[in-house]
Chain A
């Protein structure tokens, strides 16, 4: 049994009880000295073995963070949060979250934002951020779980827009009605196994879609994709937001 440790994510303190030291290293940017935990995640060989069913090539130490995150995800709805599959960037004090099935091009798209808008764009999380409702609204919270590129920055940013990303021949963006995209959205949210937590998750998702605009972006892999997404969601003119020195 490795040493337990605490991390701070989504404004919550999570006490982690891993079996392997790798977990602490994995969470290094989120370590906190707080010992009073809001939630607890305990690893076990059985829980790790269950993760191995999906990823048979992973070593137990490699799979352990996933097993710990699953436990966090199961409890988050009690705090008005959910784990969301998507890539989030920050611009102008607001976060924009792009979601799509793996392999659609979320990482490519946010890489284009960083490339063309320079330091005005900051990464939040490239793969599995937490969305959490607070008194001030919906926040995107970064986590150590950030995909193979490990694009993450320990932060919590108000969500300015949620965007369904589809690949297209041209670049278009439009605001859509969440109810028309329920299936698509549900596939990108962690749905807890526990019935009560599932109901809370559905409520959280409903609330997020009530508070934050949902967009459908059909895009290429070119700069025009950034121009379209940027202007469609921030309401600013693209050239004005561009950092000329980058």
Chain B
């Protein structure tokens, strides 16, 4: 699990609407998924990094670096966000070699 690389599934885009970060579905996804997600600043960063694909460890490290926060805080933010995305079926996983 620890080294598992996660990525946002295709068909979801992050856009700025009236200064707010919103996730909406495009293409075929827009027909099966009509939920709109609003992200705060940290979540929007995590989302952006996850569109490129990242492990939990990378996300925690990048959060710590950008916001100068304690590892435990960063880990909690990442866990909560990843869990929420997972629950909504927005993530896909790809195992790295040493798993």
Contacts and interface: CB of A to CB of B under 8 A. Distances in A.
Contacts of A206: 17-18
Contact of A205 (B17, B25, B30): B17
Contact of A198 (B13, B18, B19): B13
Contact of A179 (B13, B18, B28): B18
Main DSSP-derived SS at the A contact region? helix
A51 to B, nearest CB: 10
Contacts of B25: 191
Interface in B33-59: 34, 36, 38
Contact of A182 (B17, B31, B34): B17
B31 A179 contact: no
Contacts, number: 45
A193 B18 contact: no
Interface residues of A, number: 18
A187 B13 contact: no
Contacts of B28: 193
A152 B75 CA distance: 54
A209 B26 contact: no
A138 to B, nearest CB: 15
Interface of B: 13, 15, 17-20, 22, 24-28, 30-31, 34, 36, 38
